[in-house]
Amino acid sequence: MMKNGRADHYVITKIVKKNSRILDIGCADGKLLHLLKREKNASGQGIEIEHDKVEVCLQKGLSVVEGDANKEIISFPNKCFDYVILSQTLQTVERPKWIMNEILRIGKKAIISFPNFGYWLCRTQIAFKGKMPVTSDLKLHWYDTQNIHLCTISDFCELVNEMNFVIENKFGINGKKVLSYPFNSFLMNLFASHAVFLIKNK
Amino acid sequence: MTTNKSYYKNIYNYEHTPNLVLNKNFKLQNGKMLQKANIAYQTYGKLNKEKSNAILICHALTGDQYASGINPITKKKGWWHDMIGKGKVFDTNSYYIICSNVLGGCMGTSGPKSINPLSKTFYGINFPEISIKDMVKLQYELIKFLGIKKLFCVVGGSMGGMQVLEWGINYPEKVKLAIPIATSFRHTAQNIALHEVGRQAIKNDFNWIEGNYIDKKVVPEKGLSAARMVAHITYMSEKSLSTKFGRNKRGFNNISKIFSGNFEVESYLQYQGSSFVKRFDANSYLYLTKSMDRFDLSEKYNGKLESVFKNNTCKWLIISFTSDWLFPTSESRHIVSALNANACKVSFVEIESDRGHDSFLLKVPRLYKILRGFLIGGKLQ
């Protein structure tokens, strides 16, 4: 399953229980929704802002609302999804705290993935080159990137605690390798280029 | 005033076939009964063995069942001719397309220009009041008659979109895909106001004669034409009018002809008005605009539209256009929010077009692409 797919998609597919109802915020071409539908018989809904990606979703038979997630999610009622997925999006939104509150209002659980700024390659680029990092997870230069709220795994854990949510599971990802929860937190923050968190309300 | 025999041949004496006549009374939403109600329709393509490939297309206010091919009254291409046919979006190689004239219409389905089977005279304004829900109920009779258990898709724009909404709400188990385009769940005060101007124009025409003009062999053409002119403006955008006509004049400066319409946009509108009266019945226009004005899905639920879609199982695609000021995107968004509030399967796109409300009738590439994709996706499950 993992041969061709993205490691974070693999992890998310592992997390999601069968027959769940899912909202994927920033669902792009619907790859993840499609995967979850196939592997977990999940019924899904996506939100995507880019026209051509929306068109691809429709062709795949996925339901997708074209628009800005910040505006769309407020119309959903409380707890209408089993999981709300925010994949590689948190770092691009204007108000990360607000959106986290919103997704845990409309979803029973939230799956959030983001690039880890604490990854050693980021640290060394800043420390030794004195430059903003460019890695496989942070492909674009600072002037081109949409990432406006970058954080490390430690930063994110702190925020989750501060917001009174519970981390049910967390995974570090490096390339195609999954570094799972028992892995030492300090080491995960150093070696994961990317993280996936499963969080819920207390 | 003018008597227009040609109108009679066109609108009042043409026999539209096929035409299904119900052998039972048809009960309307207001409780009244319609005797021998009939519904004229057209089909394109072939119904498959499983009867699972049927698409019902719902026409707008002044549309008709001749969605594709040549319209026998206007002798022009059908209103969605470019959309329906072999290899087109609604591909007749794989789908069976049905389009019927709406209840209250004037192209063969029961309406004010039909003969009342009891009194043997034209209904005129004695035709009972009808609703969008009634139109759909009559279409449902047609679908049953055709032996179709579940429609693969119901699609339509504007008033056709209102019918799609009623289909999805009243017969969710009979509809797989529902596509309301450039529409709303209710008419706004502005929508009603604009319709009222048109109705007043008709009713104040000397030839309307309290709706009895057919017996007198006249047509309230001036009123109907003015109504069409106002409506036509609302179907376009300021930009499309400017692009098409700007302030162009038709090159004369004769003071005696000062009010004969020397701006190109004026003569265009006059042409729209005068060609409309050759194909449409004025009383039908009154009835249909009224049914649109009365349309409000949220009324029953004290304005809470989300209650309408409780446990709805259809797969929805809502489409709006950026320059449509008659049914702006905000109206479609209300529908999307109400569907979201029930965690229904809903897709939504706002398509960029500067051609106003009429965009749904025009060759807007993204509209074609979106519809084609949604139908492909709809087949997958």
Q: Which residues contact residue B206 at a Cβ distance below 8 angstroms, ignoring those fewer than 6 apart? A: B1, B220
Cβ-based contacts of A48 with chain B (< 8 Å): none
Instruction: Inform me whether the C-beta atom of residue B189 falls under 8 Å from chain A C-beta atoms.
Output: no
Catalytic (active site) residue B158: yes
Question: In chain B, which ranges are continuous DSSP H helix?
Answer: 5-7, 132-145, 159-170, 189-203, 221-235, 238-244, 264-276, 282-294, 329-340, 365-380
Cβ-based contacts of A61 with chain B (< 8 Å): 376-381
Instruction: Inform me whether the C-beta atom of residue A66 falls under 8 Å from chain B C-beta atoms.
Output: yes
Prior bond of A115 cis (ω within 30°): no
Cβ-based contacts of B321 with chain A (< 8 Å): none
Domain A7-116+152-201 has CATH 3.40.50.150: yes
Catalytic (active site) residue B324: yes
Could you say which of B343, B347, B350 has the minimum Cβ distance to residue A21? B343
Strand, helix or coil at A164?
coil
Average pLDDT over residues B116-138: 96
Contact predicate B69/B78, CB 8 Å: yes
Q: Do B343 and A77 touch (CB under 8 A)?
A: yes
Is this model's pTM higher than 0.95 or not? Answer: no
Q: What is the residue-averaged pLDDT of chain B? A: 94
Active-site residue among B237, B324, B332, B353? Answer: B324
Selected for mutation to probe chain A from B332, B334, B347 (highest A CB count within 10 Å) is: B347
Question: How far apart are the CA of B305 and the nearest CA of chain A, in angstroms?
Answer: 12
Q: Which residues contact residue A160 at a Cβ distance below 8 angstroms, ignoring those fewer than 6 apart? A: A166, A167, A197, A199
H or E stretch at A124: helix A120-124
pLDDT at A3 over 60: no
pLDDT 10s digits, B248-270? 987 655 655 677 767 999 999 99
Q: Where in chain B is the domain with CATH 3.40.50.1820?
A: 16-190+299-380
- Would you kindly state where each structural domain of chain A is located, as residue ranges? 7-116+152-201
Question: How far apart are the CA of A59 and the nearest CA of chain B, in angstroms?
Answer: 4
Q: How many CA atoms lie within 13 A of B82 on its CB side?
A: 8
Average pLDDT over residues B81-94: 98
Per CATH, the homologous superfamily of domain B16-190+299-380 is Alpha/Beta hydrolase fold, catalytic domain (3.40.50.1820)
pLDDT at A13 over 90: yes
pLDDT at B5 over 60: no
The encoded tokens of residue B319 equal 């489409």
Fold category of B193-290 in CATH? Rna Polymerase Sigma Factor; Chain: A (1.10.1740)
DSSP letter at B263 equals: B
DSSP letter at B106 equals: S
H or E stretch at B134: helix B132-145
pLDDT, position B1? 39
Contact predicate B287/B111, CB 8 Å: yes
Average pLDDT over residues B193-203: 98
Active-site residue among B16, B59, B195, B357? Answer: B357
